[in-house]
Amino acid sequence: MKRESIILAPNGKPVNYLTLYEATIPSRHRAPLWPQDTDSKDSLDPWTRTELLTAARTLYANVGYVKGAVRGIARYSFGCGWVPQSLATTKPAREAYESFWADWSNIADPNGQWTWADLLRLQSIGLDVDGDVGRLYVMTAGGFPKIQLIRAHRIKNPPDSKSDKWVDGVRLSTRGSPVAYSVTSGPDDWKVYPVESFALVRDPDAPDEYRGKTSLHHGINGLRDAKEILTAEKQGVKINSSLALVIKILQAAQPDQPVFGPQGLIQTESGDLSLDRILAGAIPRLNEGEDIWSHKSDRPSPTFTGFLDYLLRDVAIGLGLPWEFVWDSTKLGGSGNRLAIGQAQWKFEERQAQFKPHANRDWQFVIGAAIDRGDVPADKDWFRVKWQMPRRISVDAGRDAKANLDDLKYGVRTHSEDAGERGEFWEDERRQTELETLDLIQRADRIAKATGKPFELILGLIQQRSPNPVIPPPTSAEPPTGTPPNPTTAG
């Protein structure tokens, strides 16, 4: 049976020669591309993912640019941790849930090392460097909830797994959904956890990805090249810096002749010493054909730094951050800085959206266990919660604060929205304002009674809310100075 060629058409020309799209036409000026019409489990196999993970961990540990960008995403996305606001029906239940969560957050890790805010930061770093991170929901013997993080290299297929049921540590159902995860702590220590007690945090690029890949995968080669080129360039700068002067010889020197002239014995206090040196301020006597040249270095050159900036820009864009935000914003003006910060803020909000479902599950796991233990009262909406994010970054805090104040004054902006962007709860602020207002009125009233002065005057002296000072009303029947007399009583 004659097989048809997958390269040549029946007319003898290449198959993709007749295509409309020039990108598919082969050319000797470009490297060929291998077909990628496969599922993610075939293109992102365990070996490939491990190689990417190894390179990313190495770059994160040795390249400050990478570490700063990755930690920056975690810093601006989570700050010092998210604060929950319970949406339970009754106020006592809300206060009890939030109080229990605040206490639990300080001991969220089974080993007692990490707070819940630490876990958020570590998960974000693991997501960008390793590609994914496991979250294991653990219950202690006393029924106290804990959350344990599992690093990506520990999630693997068990030794007795079947290839049609397991994909890189993930067990699939007949319809292709994850039902369990396999975790190893050593060659003979394997445990399988169902999805009810295990979750995987990842940032997929395809709908059939069951494992994540490092966010640096697009720039690994560029970062490695930049690191090696920079190392060689630094070595060249060091060598050039160590050369002060160079002696040029027009004719070849004798093999046994030193570079700085013949060596001789110089009489010193400690004896004869062989020296080969040029003294500061000396006038050397040169032989015929010799010349002294002051060595100057032009390294690193502007061309090199521009090339290095291009490589770093490529990495930053792939991470979803503006290059100017990560590396250098000196060339941007006010509007350019606002644009870069706005683009970066979208990346942080995207990361927050990725973690919200996991944070909601943490709340339900912790508060549900607390209700079962009897630590907090039950409520029909105990599982409902919203999260207070860290404040948004701003290039002009004063300008933004004035705009927000005007929006609040005219009702365009809510107090909840304003407090949320500052990292506070509007209910807490209103409660505190109520306490301070009551205290202010009580103090003003007490001082007014003690001094006999008008209450409004004392209140204005303690705290002035208006740009104009408070003028107390007249206390006598005499008209104020400057008031015209009553015509009915004049004369």
Whether residue 415 is contained in a domain is answered as no
190/126 same-domain check: yes
337/437 same-domain check: no
Whether residue 100 is contained in a domain is answered as yes
Whether residue 210 is contained in a domain is answered as yes
Report the pLDDT value the prediction gives residue 16, as an integer from 0 to 100.
57
8/75 same-domain check: yes
Task: Write down the residue that tokens 């870069």 correspond to.
Answer: 340
326/377 same-domain check: yes
Report the pLDDT value the prediction gives residue 97, as an integer from 0 to 100.
95
Of 366, 393, 420, which closes a domain?
393
Whether residue 487 is contained in a domain is answered as no
123/173 same-domain check: yes
336/449 same-domain check: no
107/41 same-domain check: yes
Mean pLDDT of successive 10-residue stretches along the chain, which has 491 residues: 54 62 77 81 88 94 92 92 91 93 93 93 95 94 92 90 82 90 87 94 90 92 87 81 70 53 50 48 66 68 76 87 82 78 90 95 96 94 91 70 76 75 75 89 90 86 71 56 51 43
440/308 same-domain check: no
Cβ atoms of 98 and 85 within 8 Å: the answer is yes
Report the pLDDT value the prediction gives residue 354, as an integer from 0 to 100.
93
Q: Specify the number of domains making up the chain.
A: 2
Cβ atoms within 10 Å of 184's Cβ, excluding its own: 18
178/306 same-domain check: yes
Whether residue 263 is contained in a domain is answered as no
The pTM for the full model equals: 0.74
**Between vectors from CA 101 to CA 95 and to CA 105, what angle results, nearest 5°?**
150
327/452 same-domain check: no
Domain range holding 433? Answer: 428-462
Whether residue 267 is contained in a domain is answered as no
Report the pLDDT value the prediction gives residue 53, as an integer from 0 to 100.
94
Whether residue 481 is contained in a domain is answered as no
142/221 same-domain check: yes
213/313 same-domain check: yes
Of 339, 372, 393, which closes a domain?
393
Whether residue 398 is contained in a domain is answered as no
3-state SS of the chain? CCCCCCCECCCCCEHHHHCCCHHHCCCCCCCCCCCCCCCHHHHCCHHHHHHHHHHHHHHHHHCHHHHHHHHHHHHHHHCCCCEEEECCCCHHHHHHHHHHHHHHHCCCCCCCCCCHHHHHHHHHHHHHHCCEEEEEEEECCCCCEEEEEECHHHECCCCCCCCCCEECCEEECCCCCEEEEEEEEECCEEEEEECCCEEEEECCCCCCCCCCCCCCHHHHHHHHHHHHHHHHHHHHHHHHHCCCEEEEECCCCCCCCCCCCCCEEEEECCEEEEECCCCCCCCCCCCCCEEEEECCCCCCCHHHHHHHHHHHHHHHHHHCCCHHHHCCCCCCCHHHHHHHHHHHHHHHHHHHHHHHHHHHHHHHHHHHHHHHHCCCCCCCCCCCEEEECCCCCCCCHHHHHHHHHHHHHCCCCCHHHHHHHCCCCHHHHHHHHHHHHHHHHHHHHHHHHHHCCCHHHHHHHHCCCCCCCCCCCCCCCCCCCCCCCCCCCCC
Residue 276's nearest CA partner among 262, 290, 295 is 262
